[in-house]
Amino acid sequence: MAGVLLSEAEKTFILHGVQSDLRNDGRSKQDYRPMELELDIVTHANGSARVRLANTDILVGVKTEIDVPKPEKPDEGKIEFFVDCSANATPEFEGKGGEDLATEISNFLSTSFNSGLSFDLKSLCILKEIQCWKLYVDILILECGGNLFDAVSLAVKAALHNTMVPRVETMAMDGGNVDLQLSGDPYDCWRLDIKNVPCLVTLTKIGEHLIVDPTAEEENCSMASLVLAVTEDGRINSLSKTSVGSFHPHTLTEGLKVGTEVGIRLNKALKEALEKEEKRLQADKPERSGFLK
């Protein structure tokens, strides 16, 4: 990826490291780099999260708006992903440079959210055929240190967990128009169910081995990677090959196995981190005052 130049000798060094299951930074093949997670850091978004995976920095904000449901899916809400590869991350993204990567990530995310088993869009419906919630998931890539897919998906899942959708108190039909009354209390919201939302796991092939969480240097010496969307209970919601290269069927089936295991672990770790962060936020929350409470 971005702006890393490696000589043949350096590539061979990384390759030999992977072969003996000891990577440059001391990890084994299936280890992730340290991650940091922060929730609720953007005041104007309904939900937000920031994930830092070593040098990769992702900021996600979720905004909810009201929209008309699609005619072919009258009882479902909408969710849309926008990825912005800003030139802050690397000069290569300047202008239209990051566009291809951005569409690839956002398309992959929407494919993995497509199944009703992964994310329940029906809960976002307000009034069948007339009104629904639309979630805008905006993803900002602040720094790019390899393994964008995984970091983005973690941040998206965390931000969706953090999203507060206002509660609709009353609905009235006035002629053809809908009159919605939202709750006046800013804390009177409901949370999205993110239990089955998948995390993406990228498996990068270096030599004959598959590794998880590649650094930018490792991505540079690999020809092919595989991205899997894995849910908490180990189901695969989407699978695709990214970058040039190809796979032998054996490598692919092995990748499926490894990817599912890693994905389950990743989901579990994220869940724990979310609970911890939630507790911290709860402790910091300003006390509510007001004469009716």
Residues making contact with another protein (CB under 8 A): 71-72, 100, 103-104, 107, 110-111, 114-118, 224, 226, 231, 234-249, 252-253, 256-257, 259-260
Q: Residue 145 has which token pair? A: 């240190």
Residue 86 CA to residue 269 CA, distance in Å, equals 28
* Shortest Å, Cβ 236 to another protein: 5
Q: What is the dihedral of CA 21, 10, 208, 147, to 10 degrees?
A: 80
* Shortest Å, Cβ 239 to another protein: 4
* Shortest Å, Cβ 22 to another protein: 27
* Shortest Å, Cβ 204 to another protein: 15
E-strand ranges in 75-217 read 78-85, 125-127, 131-143, 164-166, 168-174, 177-182, 189-191, 199-206, 209-212
The b-or-e profile of 171-184 (16+ CB within 10 A means b, else e) is eeeeeeeeeeeeee
* Closer to another protein by Cβ: residue 46 or 225: 225
* Closer to another protein by Cβ: residue 30 or 240: 240
Cβ neighbours for 179, distance < 8 A, ≥ 6 positions apart = 170, 171, 172, 173
* Shortest Å, Cβ 249 to another protein: 6
Q: CA-based angle 22:25:26, to the nearest 5?
A: 40
Q: Residue 257 has which token pair? A: 């196995």
* Shortest Å, Cβ 150 to another protein: 18
* Closer to another protein by Cβ: residue 257 or 279: 257
* Closer to another protein by Cβ: residue 57 or 76: 76
Find, among 152, 154, 132, 141, the residue nearest to 64 by Cα. Answer: 132
* Shortest Å, Cβ 179 to another protein: 23
* Closer to another protein by Cβ: residue 163 or 231: 231
Amino acid residing at 89: A
* Closer to another protein by Cβ: residue 55 or 243: 243
Q: Give the pairing of strands 131-143 and 78-85.
A: parallel
CB 141 within 8 A of CB 155: no
**Ramachandran quadrant class, 90 (left: phi over 0; alpha: psi -120 to 50; beta: rest):** beta
Find, among 97, 118, 109, the residue nearest to 139 by Cα. Answer: 109
* Closer to another protein by Cβ: residue 116 or 186: 116
